[in-house]
Amino acid sequence: MQFTTKTELPIGELHITHESNMILIGSCFAGNIGSKLSERKFRIDANPFGVQYNPMSIASVLKRIASGEPFGECSEEIFEHNGQWHSIMHHSDFSDSSKGGLLGKINSRLRQAHNAAKGCDLVIVTLGTAYAYSRKSDGRIVGNCHKLPAREFDRRLLGIDEIVAELGNVIEIYRRVNGNVKFLFTISPIRHLRDGAHDNQKSKSTLLLAVDELMTRYSCCHYFPAYEIVLDELRDYRFYADDMLHPSAVAVKYIWECFDKCYFSDATRELNSNVEEITRGLEHRPFDAESDGYRRFIGSLVDKMNNLTKRHPGLDFGKEIRECNTLLKR
């Protein structure tokens, strides 16, 4: 008997390899997939401005990454509140007690992302909510309110047309840099219940319709059904974390398996397996780190990393090899 509603997966519509150059941006769900890709040594740059939720803020970030225009002392995105400097385009992880400290962090990360965008052939966008907050002072939509008083913002549900127009503009900008760039959209399965159950459904429906329209207009756009997998196949609270909103580790693992089925070839899966084997070895903690047996074990891992890198030059084990060599020199 079949006890779940299986989600139809877009297997074979898009291929991702270790040669792909990817930018991931959006909600914390983008971070979950980004971590899985990073652990397997894919070339990614994930959330260079921190977590983003609404499509307009995501579009603004992607445009800024493409232009590479640095933030300056007088940038309207920068402000001070309660002794901390913040950016309305960035997560609070970037905030600092000095303006110079904030600018140093966000511009360093911007340069890194801008360089990644030059060779980017896949942008993975996870949309979290269609509700956005704009500053009353200038009407500008913010990516983060940084705990400023609610009276300083207006909240509204974005329209499908404006989402499509803004993200469509982003697609055209990136296609001018690389005509073969692809966009992979997902809708975060995390419910925004602070909006209320009904408003959350309105929000997710708006995002789904906007993505559908983008796919109609642009052949370079694709959709991965993470939202449908969680809400249909995994419609049980045992697949949620303690807050009953975020997917549990088991759910994230299952979604990753679906992602694997959709976008990886057998050769990519084999390479993933080789990387995972090395990672498990690196995570091993011995009883005696000074023993000859452990030193031989570390030496064998270095050999495996060097051999794998020779066969696949795109893999980067530089940090791990340096750390292992440091252990061997003790």
pLDDT of 245: 81
Task: Summarize the confidence of residues 90-96 as an average pLDDT.
Answer: 97
CA gap 71, 113 in Å, rounded: 14
CA gap 220, 14 in Å, rounded: 10
Tens digits of residue pLDDT in 10-44: 999 999 999 999 999 999 878 889 999 999 999 99
pLDDT of 202: 96
What pairing do the DSSP bridges indicate for beta strands 122-127 and 21-26?
parallel
Contacts of 192 (CB under 8 A, 6+ apart): 128, 129, 131, 200, 203
Contacts of 142 (CB under 8 A, 6+ apart): 57, 88, 89, 133, 134, 135, 153
Cα 302 from chain centre: 30
1 confidence band (pLDDT: 50, 70, 90): low
CA gap 60, 92 in Å, rounded: 17
- The pTM score is 0.94
Contacts of 114 (CB under 8 A, 6+ apart): 65, 66, 67, 68
| Tokens, residue 196 | 């209320």
pLDDT of 160: 98
Tens digits of residue pLDDT in 205-256: 999 999 999 999 999 999 999 999 998 888 888 888 888 887 888 999 999 9
Contact 190, 128 (CB under 8 A): yes
pLDDT of 328: 86
- Torsion angle in degrees (nearest 10) through CA of 114, 118, 124, 125: 50
- Domains of the chain with CATH codes: 21-264 (3.40.50.1110), 266-330 (no CATH)
Mean pLDDT, the chain, rounded, equals 94
288 confidence band (pLDDT: 50, 70, 90): confident
